[in-house]
Amino acid sequence: MLYKLFRSYINKTDPELAHKLAIKFIKNPLLSGCITSQTSYENLNQNLFNLKFVSPIGLAAGFDKNAEIYNYVNKLGFSFSEVGTVTPEPQLGNSMPRVFRLVDDRAIINRLGFPNDGMEIIKRRMKKNIPSGICGINIGPNKKNATLVDDYLLCFDEFFEIASYITVNISSPNTPDLRLQHEENKIIKLIEVIQQKRTEKNSLVPIFFKISPDLEESEIKNLCEIFLEKNIDGLILTNTTVKNKQNLISHFKFEEGGLSGSPLNVISNEIIKKFYKYVGGRIPIIGVGGVSNGKTAFEKIKSGASLLQLYTSIVYEGPFVANNINKELSYLIKENGYKSISDVVGVYCK
C-alpha cells in the first residue's frame, strides 16, 4: 500500500526527481515493513567469479549512480548491485530534459551522459559504508576523454580494493565516441592496460566489459575472439540501444538517447545468444534488457545469461520486482524439469 501511494505520486513528477525520491524511499526504514518475506530459493544459488550469488537478479548500473543504496537493495531481492557509472571527475551530464518515460511501451529513453559525484567523493562514501554484499563498480571516462584509457585506469586504482567486481563501460550511447572503444585496436589496448594494472596491484578482482546491443554479427565474432584470447572474466550484455524505435507507441520514441525496458528484451536476448554461441561457458554473461518477470528472466537465462540485471522494470513494476522474479523463476526452473539455474544457462544454444 505504501508503495502504491508513493508510485501514484512519483509517476506524475519529472523522471529525474522521481528517481531521487525512489532512492530516498528505498533507504527509508519504513520499507522493511512492506516486505512480507525474503525467501531464499536453493535452485537459484550460483558460485561465479569466486562469489556466491543467492539469486541471479542484480541491480543494474545507472540506478545507484552515486553509491547510496547498495546496502539496502538485498532486502528487495537483489543478490548484487552495481554502482555507477563513476568517472574520475564529477560531471553534470547532458542538458535536461534527458530522461523520458515511454509508459505505453514499458520503456525509458535516456541521454544522461554519466552524471555522478566523481570517484573521490563516491570512494569516500563507500569507505564509510562498506558493502555488506556483492557490489560491483561500473567505471567510465569523463566526456572529454571518451576515446582514451587513462580515466578507466584512474577509476580502477580508486575502486579495485572495495569492489566485488569492476565493470568497464564502453557502451553508453550518451557519451560521444565512447562506443569507438569496441574497435579492435582500442578494445585490445583497453583490456591489456586494465589487466596489467590489476596485476601490478596484486588484485584478483573480476573485470567485466559492458557491451552495446547495436553490433553486427561480424563485430560480435571478432570481439569474442579477442575476449577469449585475452581471457576476460565476464560480459554484461547489453547496454541501451539507439535503434529499433520506429515501432514504439509513445510520442517520445524519437527522442535522442538509449532505449531500455521491454522493447530491448528480445534484442538483448538475440545478442546474448550470439555471444554465447562463440564463447560458450568460457566467459559468463550477465544479461540486461527488459527483465521484468520470471518468464523474461527465464528466457534470458536460456539464451545464455548466468546472471541478470534490471533497472527500468523497477519504474514500472515497483521496488519489489526482484523478489517477485526470484519466486517465479524458481518455480519455472522446477516446472520445466531442471534442478538448478545452472542447468538452464544457454539451453537455446545447445
Task: Encode pLDDT of 188-245 as tens digits.
Answer: 999 999 999 999 999 999 999 999 999 999 999 999 999 999 999 999 999 999 988 9
Cβ(132)–Cβ(71) below 8 Å: yes
Tell me 72's DSSP state. Answer: T
pTM for this one? Answer: 0.93
Q: Is the pLDDT reported for residue 178 higher than 70?
A: yes
Q: What digits encode the pLDDT tens for the residues 27-75?
A: 877 665 555 446 789 999 999 999 999 999 999 999 999 999 999 988 8
Q: Is the pLDDT reported for residue 23 higher than 80?
A: yes
10 found inside a domain = no
Determine the average pLDDT of the residues in 93-103.
Answer: 92
Burial class (CB in 10 A: 0-12, 13-18, 19+), 9: exposed
13 found inside a domain = no
Q: Is the pLDDT reported for residue 79 higher than 70?
A: yes
17 found inside a domain = no
CATH number reported for the structural domain that contains residue 154 in this entry: 3.20.20.70
Summary mean pLDDT of the chain = 91
343 found inside a domain = yes
Q: Is 303 known to be catalytic?
A: no
Determine the average pLDDT of the residues in 74-92.
Answer: 94
pLDDT at 36: 47
Q: Average the pLDDT over each of 7-16, 238-247, 260-269 and give the range with the smallest value.
A: 7-16
20 found inside a domain = no
Select the more confidently predicted residue: 280 or 211: 211
pLDDT at 180: 86
292 found inside a domain = yes
30 found inside a domain = no
- Considering the candidates 172, 303, 313, 330, report the single residue annotated as catalytic: 172
Residue 301's H or E segment, with its range, is helix 294-303
pLDDT at 267: 94
Q: Which three cell numbers stand for residue 57?
A: 537478479
Q: What is the count of structural domains for the chain?
A: 1
pLDDT at 165: 98
22 found inside a domain = no
Return d(Cα 319, Cα 85) in angstroms, integer.
21
Question: Residues near 310 by Cβ (< 8 Å), separated by ≥ 6?
Answer: 57, 58, 59, 60, 288, 291, 292, 321, 322, 325
Q: What digits encode the pLDDT tens for the residues 111-165?
A: 999 999 999 999 999 999 999 999 999 999 999 988 889 999 999 999 999 999 9
Q: Is the pLDDT reported for residue 6 higher than 60?
A: no
For 112, half-sphere exposure in the C-beta direction (CA atoms, 13 angstrom radius) is 22
Question: Residues near 175 by Cβ (< 8 Å), separated by ≥ 6?
Answer: 113, 114, 140, 141, 143, 146
Domain that holds residue 205: 48-349
Sign, CA dihedral 264-270-271-275, equals positive
Q: Is the pLDDT reported for residue 110 higher than 60?
A: yes
